Amino acid sequence: MITTDELRAIPAFARLAPEAIDYLVRSVEDIHLVPGEYFAHEGDERALFIVIDGRAELTKVVNGEERVIGERVPGRFFGEVPMTLSTPFPASGRAAEPTRIIKLDVTVFYSLAAMAPSVPAFVASLARRYLDWLQTVAAEQAEPEVRVVAPRADRRAHELTGFLTRNQVAFEHVPVEPAGDGAQHPVVELPDGRRLENAGLREIAAAVGLEVEPSQRDYDVVILGAGPAGLTAAVNAAAEGLRTLVVEHLAPGGQAGTSTRIENYTGFPFGISGDELASRALKQARRLGAEIVVTRTAESLRPGGREIELDGGDVLRAPVVVVATGVEWRTLQVPGIDRFLGSGVYYGAARSDSAVARGAESPSWVPATRRDRPPSSSRASRGR
Q: CA 175, CA 285: separation in Å to the nearest integer?
A: 36
How many residues comprise the chain? 384
Q: Does 261 map to a domain?
A: yes
Q: CA 193, CA 176: separation in Å to the nearest integer?
A: 19
First to last CA, the chain: 56
- Res 371 pLDDT > 70: no
Which DSSP helix (H) or strand (E) runs through 130? helix 118-138
Whole-prediction pTM value?
0.62
Q: How does pLDDT run across 249-305, given as a tens digit for each residue? A: 999 888 777 777 788 888 777 778 887 888 888 888 998 999 999 999 999 999 999
Q: Say whether both 157 and 248 belong to one domain.
A: no
Which stretch, 17-21, 219-223, 357-361, has highest mean pLDDT?
219-223
Rounded to 10 degrees, the C-alpha dihedral 200/205/208/212 comes to -140
Task: Write the single-letter amino acid at 281.
Answer: A
Question: Residue 165 in contact with residue 355, Cβ under 8 Å?
Answer: yes
Predicted local distance difference test score (pLDDT) of residue 22: 93
> What is the CATH classification number for the domain harbouring 38?
2.60.120.10
Q: How does pLDDT run across 135-193, given as a tens digit for each residue? A: 776 666 556 778 999 887 788 888 898 899 888 888 888 888 876 556 788 999 998 88
From 325, 345, 377, the end of a domain falls on: 325
Q: Say whether both 186 and 280 belong to one domain.
A: no
Per the structure, the count of domains in the chain is 3
Q: Strand, helix or coil at 381?
A: strand
Q: Say whether both 228 and 299 belong to one domain.
A: yes
Q: What is the DSSP track for 46-109?
A: P-EEEEEES-EEEEEEETTEEEEEEEE-TT-EE-HHHHHHT---SSEEEESSSEEEEEE-HHHH
Q: Which domain holds residue 75?
A: 4-138
Q: Say whether both 17 and 58 belong to one domain.
A: yes
Q: What count of other Cβ atoms lies within 10 Å of the Cβ of residue 294?
A: 22
Given pLDDT bands bounded at 50, 70 and 90, which one contains residue 130?
Answer: confident
Q: Does 31 map to a domain?
A: yes
Q: Say whether both 244 and 198 belong to one domain.
A: no
Predicted local distance difference test score (pLDDT) of residue 109: 93
